[in-house]
């Protein structure tokens, strides 16, 4: 059978192609924003915050309320030490996403927390870190960050509570245990501090933080011989930052002691 020309079908085909073309134009615009995000992320990972900022600005020029781009822009501004502008972008991202799943705003909350931390606004930092805990209650790092903010605010009950929660979640990790030990130390829970530092030796044999923490406990108890003995052991295990020993507030009582000074000098040579 011969094919017959059908004007109605041709008009319908043309119309459908026009609709498809319009749709492709919209997708192209969305892809352009995604491309800017991809490039901005790459620049940030490479340490070029200024280039990342330019990419974010280019993307936001066509879509000013793009939340992922706003968060990326806040990160770039933070890296450039432009904290007030970064805060404005993170706040705008949160405001635009009031009805979104809070987990999707974790990066904005973290950005606001880090700005507050850098500006020594510990109350603000605590608020933002607590938001992160509410979003991810099983995140030990967020609990530790709340604990550190609470320590700065002299709220030791809060610090202990969040430090212990981090310990329950990741109680075999050296950074978590050491931080919890220092929290107990600040709260005058010396037995708990000693047990926590000792636990580091049990799960990570050879870790320098174990004897170093035990030295701090002994110093606070007024047991100088044990404090120096444990400090020597920590130096023997090669502390990561030996220059900080002389600046450690817990050892301030020994700063003029020749034996302590000899240990400090020995640590510098390791």
pLDDT per position in the chain (270 positions), as tens? Answer: 343 434 444 344 334 433 333 333 434 444 687 899 999 999 999 999 999 999 999 999 988 899 999 999 999 999 999 999 999 999 999 999 877 777 778 999 999 999 999 999 999 999 999 999 999 999 999 999 999 999 999 999 999 999 999 999 999 999 999 999 999 999 999 999 999 999 999 999 999 999 999 999 999 999 999 999 999 999 999 988 888 999 999 999 999 999 999 999 999 886
Q: How far is CA 191 from CA 9, 187, 194, 235, in A?
A: 86, 11, 5, 23
Q: How many domains does the chain have?
A: 1
The confidence score (pLDDT) of residue 31 equals: 66
The confidence score (pLDDT) of residue 22 equals: 38
The confidence score (pLDDT) of residue 27 equals: 40
The model's pTM is 0.80
Q: How far is CA 216 from CA 53, 74, 128, in A?
A: 45, 39, 31
The confidence score (pLDDT) of residue 15 equals: 40
In a domain, 234, yes or no: no
In a domain, 20, yes or no: no
Residue-number span of the structural domain to which 60 is assigned = 33-100
In a domain, 49, yes or no: yes
In a domain, 68, yes or no: yes
In a domain, 57, yes or no: yes
Gap between the Cα atoms of 23 and 2, Å rounded: 35
In a domain, 17, yes or no: no
Other Cβ atoms closer than 10 A to 56: 29
In a domain, 150, yes or no: no
Q: What is the CATH number of the domain that holds 56?
A: 1.25.40.10
In a domain, 8, yes or no: no
């Amino acid at each position: 059978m011969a094919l017959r020309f059908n004007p109605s079908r041709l008009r319908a085909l043309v119309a459908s192609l026009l609709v498809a073309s319009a749709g492709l134009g919209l997708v192209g615009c969305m892809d352009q924003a995604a491309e800017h995000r991809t490039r901005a992320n790459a620049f940030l990972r490479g340490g070029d915050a200024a280039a990342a900022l330019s990419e974010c600005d280019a993307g936001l020029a066509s879509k000013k309320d793009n939340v992922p781009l706003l968060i990326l822009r806040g990160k770039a501004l933070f890296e450039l030490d432009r904290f007030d502008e970064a805060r404005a972008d993170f706040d705008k991202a949160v405001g635009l996403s009031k009805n979104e799943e809070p987990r999707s705003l974790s990066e904005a909350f973290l950005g606001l927390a880090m700005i507050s931390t850098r500006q020594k606004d510990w109350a603000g930092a605590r608020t933002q870190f607590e938001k992160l805990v509410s979003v991810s209650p099983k995140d030990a790092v967020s609990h530790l960050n709340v604990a550190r903010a609470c320590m700065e605010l002299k709220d030791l009950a809060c610090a202990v509570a969040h430090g212990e929660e981090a310990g329950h979640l990741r109680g075999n990790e050296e950074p978590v245990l050491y931080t919890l030990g220092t929290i107990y130390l600040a709260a005058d829970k010396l037995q708990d501090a000693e047990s926590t530092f000792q636990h580091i030796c049990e799960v990570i044999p050879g870790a320098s933080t174990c004897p170093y923490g035990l030295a701090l406990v002994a110093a606070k108890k007024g047991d100088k011989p044990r404090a120096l003995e444990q400090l020597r052991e920590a130096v023997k295990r090669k502390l990561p930052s030996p220059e900080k020993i002389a600046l450690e507030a817990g050892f301030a009582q020994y700063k003029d002691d020749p034996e302590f000074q000899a240990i400090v000098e020995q640590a510098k040579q390791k």
